[in-house]
Structure 1
Amino acid sequence: MNQGSPMLQQADVESHKEEINRIQALRVLSEVTATLASEYDLEALLDRFLGMMVRLSGASAGVVRVLTSDGQHLRLAASQGLPPELVESERLVDINCGVCGAALRNDEIRQTFDLKPCAARTGQPFFGGCRSMVVVPLEHNGRLLGVYNLYMTEERSIPEEVSLLFRSISEHLAMALENTRLMRENLRMTLMSERQMMANEVHDSLAQTMAYMKMRIELLREALLQYESGKALKYSADIQQALDEAYASLRELLTQFRNRMDPLGLEHALKELVAGYFDRTGVRLELENRIPDLDLSVDQEVQVFHILQEALSNVARHAGAKQAWLTLEVDDGHYAFTVEDDGRGVFVMGAQPDLRHHFGISIMSERAQRLGGNIEIANRPQGGARLRLLVPIHPEKVK
């Protein structure tokens, strides 16, 4: 009994230590996860990660290396505790370089106590003060993204539970790196889409007007050569009207490009648009949202916003209205966005066609086609005009 007590006490102590280690590991993992989840800027994310890992592991320095696009090198993406001259020499290393290359090839954590190859390769005295280096691969969904290194001033082996913790942390960091890459790609695609959209709008609103003016100039030249003053005056007036329309369209396009959609989403953007509409136009605008859960992608929201923005601009420019209404509702498997006004209506007998109005409708129709939807335009029975944008709801979202 007396001989067994110390053994039991020792077992209790070991069990207590293991429990403490598990709790510490969970705390470390929780802190790392919180850090990676709260940062979207890649440089800031890696700096915070390394600072935390150096502190938690007791390392003197650390680096993160990411695989280059050619798959042949490791690029230094972030560093903590390295002298500037070493950072410069470590900017780009071969993928098969030493322990880092071995860790990547075998997708396993490596620790070395011999840093002489690193010192010989770089010619830097920093490695003389290091007693060990840990290399942890960064892998996400079977795809190797790079490694992170921790430089220790003590010559001690990493316990198995710490190795498992490092591996778990590497998976979280790899996921954060992949998410950041996807965000950059998404931003790149968004910018390309915006530029294409701007080009389309310039083409639809200005290029067609310029083509019309070019044809009228040719007719004007022929009329002048034949001394037909009546026709010359008519063509000159047409050109003047088209020039005025082109200038107004250009100013409007510049205004739209400066005032892109609110990043908080379509509903918030429409509320902001309605809030300042009367001050800008002198027309009262009421918004009624009957959709409890509007569910559109970011690209769809942008297209819808610009269609409604153009429709409301047309009300202000052409309708002669005092009151307008903007309604959002669900109708037979479609999101329906309706703009109405109490003005003179769209189709007025004997009215002179407005080139800018015509091109504005063309732009709206093209945007609606990108959404898989369509636009309906009609006069209201009680006076004024109605424009209705119908966007199909994804089948499983139809109530």
Structure 2
Amino acid sequence: MATLIDTLKTRLTAKITGMLLGALVFALVAIGYTLLLSWELEGAAAAINDSGSLRMRAWKMAAIINQAEGGDGLSDSQAAELQQTRNEFEQTLNGLRAGDPQRPLFLPRDNHIRGNIQALQSYWRDSFAPSLDRMLRERRISADTAARHELATRHFVAQIHATVGLIEQEYARQTFWLRSSQMALIALAMCGSLIMIILLYLMIVTPVTRLHQGLQRMSAGDFGVRLPVEGQDEFAQLAQGFNTMADELQQVYAGLEERVREKTLRLAEKNRHLSVLYDISKDFNRTQSLEDMCALFMRRIVPEFGAAGGTVRLIDRSADRVYLVVEEGIPPTLSQQMQCQKLGSCFCTIAAQRGRTSVNHLNNRCAPNFSHCLEAGFAVVMAIPICSSDKKLGIFNLHFMEDRHLGPEEVQLLEAMGQHLGIAIDNQRLAVHAKELAIVEERNLVAQGLHDSVVQSLSFLNLHLQLLKEAVGQGDFSQVAETIPLLQTGVQQGYEDLRELMGNFRTRHDETQLEAAIGAVIRRFTEQTAIPVDLKIDNTGAPLANEERLQLLFILQEALSNIRKHAQATVVSVRVINRADFDLTITDNGIGFNPEAVLSSLHTHIGLKIMRERASRAHAEFLLDSTPGQGTTLSLHLPREQRQKA
């Protein structure tokens, strides 16, 4: 029971459920009471009806007896009718006293009425019924008997009439109570609804309104608003939670401005860091020497972090040493000490060897390891690794005159700068290395070209000079006369080959105009040989990449040079189709050759070897088709899958 009471106190749902159950029980009781009254009224009405029928039957029996007075007495039909009426009267009287719930038939719960019914039944049983039975047996009814029976009937009907009057009075009284109870139910329903509305308003609407007003005030910035906590139900818990939330918000808002200011400063610091990284990355993308790049780096970060000076030193793995590249704000004596140091010999070189950031706050106990830094007046030395992927390239130092404690974000920024510098240095080294490789490869091709043309011409001249020398020694002037024209031809051929090579090497090909570059090569060939060239170009596709364009132009130059030297052609055709794929076809009507024999001895035909190598660099297919006496066709095919983006 105590638990139920506590639940009703602390649970709003329990309160509402209790109210609704109470209203339901009251309504059921009221409805049951009115149904009971209606049932009793219906029974009383049946009792009034049956009581009235007793009077009617009593007079009916008196009328039959009066008809039979004198004469032959009761006829059979009269006797039967009288017997039937007598039985119905008795049955009705007994039913009236016993009642019948199914009809329903009830006598009012009144002792006076029940006493009258009992007196009627006693009179019927003791006097009236025996008199009727005697007359039914004798069949003859005298005038005196009929008069006495009429008098008895009048007395009996009077008693019945009095009883009916009492029942009607009780019926009227019950009807009044039924109507009164119905009116009372209407009044109670109205009052109950009003009470329910008031209770629900107090229990639900009022707390919700308070909560709504509190939220509005809080949204307007009034964090001092508090709700009254009444009771222990859900709204009381909700008010308590609201007050707790308001306390926390008030505390948070009290320090919000300070936190916003701190966050703003942090964001400004991070933006400044990002700006520094962006500026450094932008500077690194400019083409410049290693010293200029490192010097620009130092000039940017030394004032950024309030340092007095800084250095950039790189690792020389071959000598296991660290050498100075640039310095900013470092005294000459200290700079001299940093020019070249053995890896792992001091604090900074150990940091370079390990590839980890190190910070040392100098004091007299650091001597002699930091004696030069102390003499220069520095209080803090910071070493940050310069890395590219997993390669340790060196370190850069920041020197501070005063004690300086760098936060984690500043250290992270410096390490990111070291990685940017390392990537820039590594990219520069790779670019230099790529240029050196390209120069070496181009020198090899130049050497091969010289060997194929000039060297062969010089060998030819050397051989015929020896023949000329022998002929002069032997006095064979006819041989001398034959050799001198050959020498003149060889010198002229070598001069033309060398001039052609120099022209090819000095020619600058435009980076965008493929048609102009091909036209320049063909014009130079026509000027040298006077051989007409039929040129057709379909340049509707994407432009070639620089490397592809250079290799294809060199192949065209080499092919035209071979035609000039060996083909003895009178007509040359060049077809260029640049669509999705790229195709270059060079055809002449010269003497031709046996392709199998030439391809099996490429070491003696360096021109073809050079063209194959250049085609391989461009990822193109090189095809050669020639028949002795029918000319030569050289084809170059670069499929779209192998083309580079220009």
TM-score (norm 1): 0.77
Match of residue 263, structure 2, among 2, 6, 15? 15
Structure 2 unaligned blocks of 5 or more: 1-246, 593-601
1:145 aligns with 2:145: no
Corresponding position of 1:42: 290
Corresponding position of 2:542: 293
- The one-letter amino acid paired with 2:590 is V
Corresponding position of 2:143: none
Q: Deviations over 1:85-135 (max 9, x none)?
A: 543332111221333133234432211221769985687578533222221
**1:145 match: secondary structure:** strand
1:104 aligns with 2:349: no
Corresponding position of 1:354: none
Decide whether aligned partners of structure 1 residues 170 and 394 sit closer, same or farther in structure 2, where only a CA change above 3 A counts: farther
Q: Counting helix residues as a fraction of each chain, which structure ranks higher?
A: 2
- The one-letter amino acid paired with 2:386 is L
1:163 aligns with 2:406: no
Corresponding position of 1:347: 591
- The one-letter amino acid paired with 1:367 is I
Corresponding position of 2:557: 309
In structure 2, C-alpha distance between the alignment counterparts of 1:195 and 1:119, rounded to whole Å: 55
In structure 2, C-alpha distance between the alignment counterparts of 1:146 and 1:100, rounded to whole Å: 10
Structure 1 unaligned blocks of 5 or more: 349-358
**1:129 match: secondary structure:** coil
Decide whether aligned partners of structure 1 residues 302 and 362 sit closer, same or farther in structure 2, where only a CA change above 3 A counts: farther
In structure 1, C-alpha distance between the alignment counterparts of 2:365 and 2:557, rounded to whole Å: 64
**1:187 match: secondary structure:** helix
- The one-letter amino acid paired with 1:252 is E
Work out whether residues 119 and 127 of structure 1, in 8 Å CA contact, stay in contact via their aligned partners in 2. no
Decide whether aligned partners of structure 1 residues 96 and 394 sit closer, same or farther in structure 2, where only a CA change above 3 A counts: farther
**2:590 match: secondary structure:** coil
In structure 2, C-alpha distance between the alignment counterparts of 1:52 and 1:237, rounded to whole Å: 72
1:329 aligns with 2:575: no
TM-score (norm 2): 0.50
Greater Cα offset, 241-250 or 370-379: 370-379
**2:376 match: secondary structure:** helix
Decide whether aligned partners of structure 1 residues 151 and 5 sit closer, same or farther in structure 2, where only a CA change above 3 A counts: same
Deviation at 1:76, TM superposition (A): 1.0
Decide whether aligned partners of structure 1 residues 133 and 127 sit closer, same or farther in structure 2, where only a CA change above 3 A counts: farther
1:390 aligns with 2:619: no
In structure 2, C-alpha distance between the alignment counterparts of 1:183 and 1:25, rounded to whole Å: 29
Greater Cα offset, 49-58 or 289-298: 289-298
In structure 1, C-alpha distance between the alignment counterparts of 2:524 and 2:463, rounded to whole Å: 39
In structure 2, C-alpha distance between the alignment counterparts of 1:120 and 1:287, rounded to whole Å: 79
Deviation at 1:327, TM superposition (A): 1.8
Work out whether residues 67 and 75 of structure 1, in 8 Å CA contact, stay in contact via their aligned partners in 2. yes
Work out whether residues 274 and 285 of structure 1, in 8 Å CA contact, stay in contact via their aligned partners in 2. no
Q: Deviations over 1:302-337 (max 9, x none)?
A: 44322223445677897677x975624369xx7422
Q: How many residues align?
A: 375
- The one-letter amino acid paired with 2:307 is A
Q: Deviations over 1:324-361 (max 9, x none)?
A: 75624369xx74223468xxx4339xxxxxxxxxx9x9
Work out whether residues 206 and 246 of structure 1, in 8 Å CA contact, stay in contact via their aligned partners in 2. yes
In structure 2, C-alpha distance between the alignment counterparts of 1:155 and 1:221, rounded to whole Å: 88
In structure 1, C-alpha distance between the alignment counterparts of 2:499 and 2:363, rounded to whole Å: 65
Match of residue 274, structure 1, among 504, 516, 519? 519
Work out whether residues 449 and 607 of structure 2, in 8 Å CA contact, stay in contact via their aligned partners in 1. no
Work out whether residues 131 and 155 of structure 1, in 8 Å CA contact, stay in contact via their aligned partners in 2. yes
Corresponding position of 2:314: 66
Deviation at 1:49, TM superposition (A): 1.4
In structure 2, C-alpha distance between the alignment counterparts of 1:56 and 1:197, rounded to whole Å: 51
Work out whether residues 75 and 91 of structure 1, in 8 Å CA contact, stay in contact via their aligned partners in 2. yes
Q: Deviations over 1:164-215 (max 9, x none)?
A: 1111111111111110110111111122122222221111112222223334
Corresponding position of 2:402: 154
In structure 2, C-alpha distance between the alignment counterparts of 1:180 and 1:57, rounded to whole Å: 27
Corresponding position of 1:172: 420
**1:304 match: secondary structure:** helix
Deviation at 1:22, TM superposition (A): 2.1
Match of residue 90, structure 1, among 321, 325, 338? 338
In structure 1, C-alpha distance between the alignment counterparts of 2:533 and 2:280, rounded to whole Å: 52
**1:193 match: secondary structure:** helix
- The one-letter amino acid paired with 1:388 is L
Q: Deviations over 1:33-67 (max 9, x none)?
A: 22222334322211211111123222222211111
**1:156 match: secondary structure:** coil
Deviation at 1:75, TM superposition (A): 1.2
In structure 1, C-alpha distance between the alignment counterparts of 2:308 and 2:326, rounded to whole Å: 15
**1:66 match: secondary structure:** strand
Deviation at 1:69, TM superposition (A): 2.9
In structure 2, C-alpha distance between the alignment counterparts of 1:280 and 1:46, rounded to whole Å: 49
Corresponding position of 1:128: 376
Corresponding position of 1:251: 499
Decide whether aligned partners of structure 1 residues 115 and 79 sit closer, same or farther in structure 2, where only a CA change above 3 A counts: farther
Q: Deviations over 1:222-270 (max 9, x none)?
A: 66677766555333322221121012212322333333x54x64x5476
Q: Deviations over 1:20-40 (max 9, x none)?
A: 222222222222222222334
Identity value in percent = 20
Decide whether aligned partners of structure 1 residues 115 and 277 sit closer, same or farther in structure 2, where only a CA change above 3 A counts: farther
- The one-letter amino acid paired with 2:516 is K
Residue pairs, 1:375-386, within 5 angstroms: 376=624
Relative contact order higher in (CA < 8 Å, ≥ 6 apart): 1
Please say which structure displays the higher CA radius of gyration: 2
- The one-letter amino acid paired with 1:109 is T
Corresponding position of 1:182: 430
Match of residue 611, structure 2, among 357, 363, 368? 368
Corresponding position of 1:352: none
In structure 2, C-alpha distance between the alignment counterparts of 1:115 and 1:249, rounded to whole Å: 75
In structure 2, C-alpha distance between the alignment counterparts of 1:158 and 1:200, rounded to whole Å: 61
1:214 aligns with 2:458: no
Work out whether residues 40 and 180 of structure 1, in 8 Å CA contact, stay in contact via their aligned partners in 2. no
In structure 1, C-alpha distance between the alignment counterparts of 2:540 and 2:364, rounded to whole Å: 67
Corresponding position of 2:13: none
Work out whether residues 322 and 342 of structure 2, in 8 Å CA contact, stay in contact via their aligned partners in 1. yes
Greater Cα offset, 115-124 or 135-144: 115-124
Match of residue 585, structure 2, among 320, 338, 342? 338
Deviation at 1:159, TM superposition (A): 0.6
- The one-letter amino acid paired with 2:576 is T
**2:318 match: secondary structure:** coil
**1:251 match: secondary structure:** helix
